[in-house]
Amino acid sequence: MFIIKCPFCGEREQSEFKAGGEAHIIRPKQPTELSDDQWAEYLFMRKNIKGIQFERWNHVHGCRKWFNVVRDTSNDEIKAVYKMGEKPPVQ
Amino acid sequence: MTKNLRVKIGKTIDETYRISFKFNGSTYYGFKGDTLASALLANNIHLVGRSFKYHRPRGIMTAGSEEPNAIVQLHDNSSRTEPNVRATEIEIYEDLEASSQNCWPSVNFDVGGINNILSPLLPAGFYYKTFMWPASFWEKYEYFIRRSAGLGKSPTKPDPDIYEHEYIHCDVLIIGAGISGIIAAKIAAKKGLKTLLVDEKPNLGGSTIYQNSDHFKINNQNSGSWLEKEINEIKKLKNLEIRTRTSVAAYHGYNFLLARENLTDHLPIDQRKDKTRHKLLKIRANKVITATGSIERPMIFDNNDRPGILLSSAIKKYADYFGVACGEKNILFTNNDSAYETAISLIQKGINIEAIIDNREEINSKLIYEVEKSNIKVFKGFTIVNTNGYKRINKVSLMKLSKDGQKVIGSKINLSCDCLGISGGWTPAVHLFTQSGGKLKFREKDQVFIPNKYSSDQISIGSCNGDLTLEDIIKNTPKYLREFLNLKKTDYDNTEVFSSENQSKRNIWLLPSDKILGKTKSFVDYQNDATAKDIKLALREGFRSIEHVKRYTTTGMGTDQGKLGNMHALGIISETAGAKMGELGTTTFRPPYTPLTFGTIVGRNVGEYFDAFRKTPIHDWHVDNKADFENVGQWKRAWYYPKDNEDMNQAVQRESKAARESAGILDASTLGKIDIQGTDASEFLNRVYTNAWSKLAIGKCRYGLMLNEDGMVYDDGVTTRLGENHYIMTTTTGGAANVMGKLEDYLQTEWPELDVYLTSVTDHYATVSVCGPNSKKIISKVIPNLDLTDENFPHMSFKNVNIGKINCRVMRISFTGEHSYEINVQANYGKSVWEKCMQAGKDYNITPYGTEAMHLLRAEKGFIIVGQDTDATMTPIDLQMNWIVSKKKYDFIGKRSLYRSDTSREDRKQLVGLLTDNPDEVLEEGAQIVANVNKSPIEMLGHVTSSYYSPNLKKSIALGVVKGGKNMMGQKLIIPMEKKNINVTVSDPVFLDKENKRLNA
Ligand SMILES: [Zn+2]
């Protein structure tokens, strides 16, 4: 049960949040022009890193905002939290 | 037969308060303050159970939560029965009833004891190997194995006790109230930090509190008295909260810990009523100080498991703390100085010691001189090679150790005894530290793992940190705390300490024997009956990883998690495999540290509080009218309304018929409702639904289908355009929260440029749906000023009107295929509008119908239910709903996936209607659909998703998904059931009113 610092509300218990998978996967603007393989790459392919991972989280039982988290999956240490649309802080 | 071995009343025993209790049916007496173990030992009872695999007689081994053998069943056959209770922890109370586990028919005569004789047939991996034997063998022996294996019996009646959860936030949590924990508590609380001190025992002070010897002094007082004064002082500190009988079960990341506070287990049962039994404490601490102490190690030699063999420190505790002698002819066996502390305690109390056997050849220690002064024979450089006595030890055999400790030499000496104390040194209790993610290091000097790298803001102090002597604890603890709490000085910086202990130790993981290993039973894990031989066998069979050896031999997998023997297992593996201890690692210690009951884990979330449930504003009416309810997500929905003695089927048939023949009324309040506003609302709907929304006129409604990005149907519902930039979307009951979440996700992350605002209004409106050929007449009575002509208020349109002063939104939409209205009103008016409709419909036999009839009615029309007729593998094309997928729109969620090679396959499972050859035969939902039952293996084509007897069509109807079903119209298929095959014909999924004439009837 870690503590996440929501960029809008501050530090809250993990149970208030929902994980939303890998961050910075941008929905293609012109899906119809993609091959099956390219579309599958967007749709299905996700990293599962042991170590530093960029993730989406949603403060679902709070302000309901989505934001990004940089988490070390090996020990759950949260390195950074930043808003949607912002650039990830340098590793 | 029973003797009284109470020698001198111990500190915590109240001899004026006698307590009677039952063990295996006989009545015994103890005193207030006794544990079940100390009371049994005082009655000279050692044999308390049988081991798991070989059913060997086993006795009390320890005096704490590390106990592997003395686990008992409390109050068998009552609602409060509990298995696997450690006799060393449970405090006795009047009328306590405990019985031995793991033995049948009794602890003294146990049929499973034959396993001991058969033991060559039960080697490591026995259970795994058994599964590989011929199946016929397993069937034969399963009964026997089940009967004789297993730990205790689960309760079969509801738990009568109350459990609670409590959240605690503190600056500093200190786990363990031994000497180092007490020191830490005083320092932290005096610094003004909000401090919580917990200990699993009923009293504070750990093992130092009963230390009464001139060989251990602090500030010139004996260490026990010194600590007692400290305890009295910290009890006055106002920043300090102390919770005893509180055991930390789990240490998670970010200093989040779970602890169980035991409030009533020590009380007589008649005093427990209405009291909370356990509290599960959910603790979030800024800083954690672990002071969990250390556990004495046993020694590994042949037959080291007989009743009467205890840890030397346990014998000392029983004597000092409870005033109980564990035997009358005691022998101690050690490789370090601790056993001499035990000896001195026993001598002080006049308890007889026959001899001490020490692995060490040359030792120079004040403690030993003191013992030898009392004319006690010390065998130096000797080891025990065997013991005798089936239900109680009566003899030990010893031999001289060779210089390198690898062999025994000389002749065997036999000594008789009735109790043997063993001391193999100490293992720091690092369980919680490793649970938290901490990394250990190995200290060669005394062969212990100690904390190295911390994963959060915490430290370990005292013996769990490797400070195994009083001197080290007093010297180091203040130093660590100054650093940890950022202090210049503490009250303990100049504490003087005197200790006679010599720190030398001769560590031999597996002691040599005059017999070959294969002929010995040297237990490493007592509870799971894993021996040194088993571990060596596992290595011979090719297991190398410590985790694999553990699982194969089951070492460390009991309820005690191998607190005693894990280190020896590691030691034997490293010696055998020639690996260094530090490089081998340890197995992972997992929560809980000691077992928790389910009651503690669920707390108050039982019975009607197990989960929240949601009621519609019309709920009370349904209750008053005898509805049966079904759970839809958290909602309670009226399922059907049985009349007179109707069963469910009869009620559903009647309700369905009435809705089509005259009028039906349904509470649709549970449907999800999302208010959508903003200048880009239309564009937003275009992107989230498969069909086009830009041209929907204000005041009109449209059905929409929502996909996942993978093209699979996700949700559906009707959305109404209330204004230029204002829509109200409905979703399925179960999907409401997820749809809301998904829409917010896209708006915030993919399309932040859209000017759209979403508000969930599900609970704000009640929805009353009136359908049937007479619905128009009823609504005209309820809302007389509304023009209900098709010209003014056609199907799929909306009006904002008033019923009296109550504003409502009326939609003319239909899920039954009948002429139908949905009235949405502010939730608190829901029931009165419903009653108004009932009143107005009286002359038309308006019939309330539940969700089951609703499902039947829509199935007659071939309307899908997302989640029943679909799973996460159905595209709109699979559902034969091509009409709703816009070809013109450039994009919508899931569009691209509909053109993937996989989704455009012709032989995907597709939704079809199914008609049984026998119109009275109703299919089972979920039944398989096949074409040919004669060809093996039978090819499964699909399954039935919805099935009913239609009272309106007077025949059985069903929907199902079938591979390539779209092109199978009219084809015969088979539903193979257990006792018969049912013949069906593939049909159009729309069974009734294909032309939709009834909508405008
Ligand atoms: Zn927030």
Look at residue B130 and tell me whether its pLDDT is greater than 90. no
Residue B1: pLDDT band by 50, 70, 90 thresholds?
very low
Q: Is residue B595 pLDDT above 80, yes or no?
A: yes
Cα distance between residue B594 and residue B90, in whole Å: 13
Give the span between the Cα atoms of B896 and B888, in whole angstroms.
Answer: 13
Among A3, A41, A43, A72, the residue to mutate for chain B (most B Cβ within 10 A): A43
Q: What is the mean pLDDT of chain B?
A: 93
Q: Which residue of B has its CA nearest to A36?
A: B900
Report yes or no: A15 at the B interface, CB cutoff 8 Å: no
Out of 1.10.1060.10, 3.40.50.1820, 2.60.300.12, 3.50.50.60, the CATH code matching B298-424 is: 3.50.50.60
Instruction: Please name the helix (run of DSSP H) or strand (run of DSSP E) that holds residue B630, with its range, or none.
Output: strand B628-632
B254–A39: do the CB atoms touch at under 8 Å? no
CATH superfamily entry for domain B905-1000: Aminomethyltransferase beta-barrel domains (2.40.30.110)
- Rounded Cα–Cα distance for residues B203 and B182 (Å): 12
Query: Which of the residues A17, A64, A72 would you substitute to probe the B interface, choosing the one with the greatest number of B C-beta atoms within 10 Å?
Result: A64
User: At a CB cut-off of 8 Å and minimum separation 6, what does B783 contact?
Assistant: B801, B803, B808, B810
pLDDT reported for residue B193: 98
- Percent residues over pLDDT 70 in chain A: 98
pLDDT mean over B448-470? 96
- Architecture of domain B671-766+790-838 in CATH? 2-Layer Sandwich (3.30)
User: In this complex, is the C-beta atom of B153 within 8 Å of any C-beta atom belonging to chain A?
Assistant: no
The pTM for the full model equals: 0.89
Q: From the CA of A63, how far away is ligand 1's center (Å)?
A: 4
Work out the average pLDDT over B189-196: 97
Secondary structure letter of residue B921 according to DSSP? P
**Tokens 């040599």 found at:** B512
Please give the Cα distance from A55 to A53 (Å, whole number): 6
CA dihedral B948, B951, B955, B958 (to 10 degrees): -20
Query: CA-CA distance, A4 to B50, in Å (whole number)?
Result: 49
A66 with B752: Cβ contact below 8 A: no
* pLDDT average, residue stretch B605-629: 95
* CATH class, B510-596 region: mainly alpha
Is the torsion defined by CA of B123, B127, B132, B135 positive or negative? positive
Say whether the peptide bond before residue A88 is cis (omega within 30 degrees of 0): no
Is B347 a residue whose pLDDT tops 90? yes
Contact (CB, 8 A) for B377 and B358 = no
User: How many A from CA of A11 to the centre of ligand 1?
Assistant: 9
What is B162-294+428-499's CATH topology? FAD/NAD(P)-binding domain (3.50.50)
- Give the tens place of pLDDT for each residue, A38-69: 999 999 999 999 999 999 999 999 999 999 99
Q: Is the fold of B298-424 the same as that of B671-766+790-838?
A: no
- What is the CATH code of the structural domain delimited by B14-117? 3.10.20.440
pLDDT over threshold 90, residue B474: yes
Q: Which residue has the tokens 């910086």?
A: B493
The pLDDT > 90 percentage for chain B reads 83
Integer-rounded Cα Rg, in Å, for chain A is 14
Residue B865: CA count within 13 A, CB half-sphere: 21
Residue B935: other Cβ atoms inside 10 A: 9
Q: Mean of the pLDDT values across residues A12-29?
A: 95
Contact indicator for B353, B344 with CB cutoff of 8 Å? no
Distance between B891 CA and the closest CA of chain A, angstroms:
7
The ipTM (two decimal places) reads 0.98
Q: Do the chains contact at A1 and B254, CB–CB below 8 Å?
A: yes
Digit-coded pLDDT (tens) for B506-560: 999 999 999 998 899 999 999 888 999 999 999 999 888 888 888 888 888 777 8
Around ion ligand 1, which residues have CB less than 5 A away? A 6, 8-9, 59, 62-63
Please, what are the domains in chain A? 3-83 (3.30.2270.10)
Kindly report the nearest CA distance between residue A6 and chain B, in angstroms: 15
**What gap in Å lies between CA B937 and CA B940, rounded to an integer?**
9
The residue ranking higher by pLDDT, B10 or B288, is: B288
Q: Specify the long-range contacts of residues B580-584, CB closer than 8 Å, at least 24 apart.
A: B580/B442, B581/B442, B581/B444, B581/B447, B582/B441, B582/B442, B582/B444, B584/B546
**10 Å Cβ neighbour count for B18?**
11
Which tokens in the block code for residue B84?
């696997």
Least reliable range by pLDDT among B143-152, B279-288, B458-467:
B143-152
Whether residues A32 and B750 touch (CB distance < 8 A) is answered with: no
Domain boundaries, chain B: 14-117, 162-294+428-499, 298-424, 510-596, 671-766+790-838, 905-1000
In angstroms, the CA B561 to CA B545 distance is: 18
**Per the CB < 8 Å rule, is B256 touching A65?**
no
Q: Is the bond into B134 cis (omega within 30 degrees of 0)?
A: no
Q: Does A81 touch chain B (CB under 8 A)?
A: no
A55 touches chain B (CB under 8 A): no
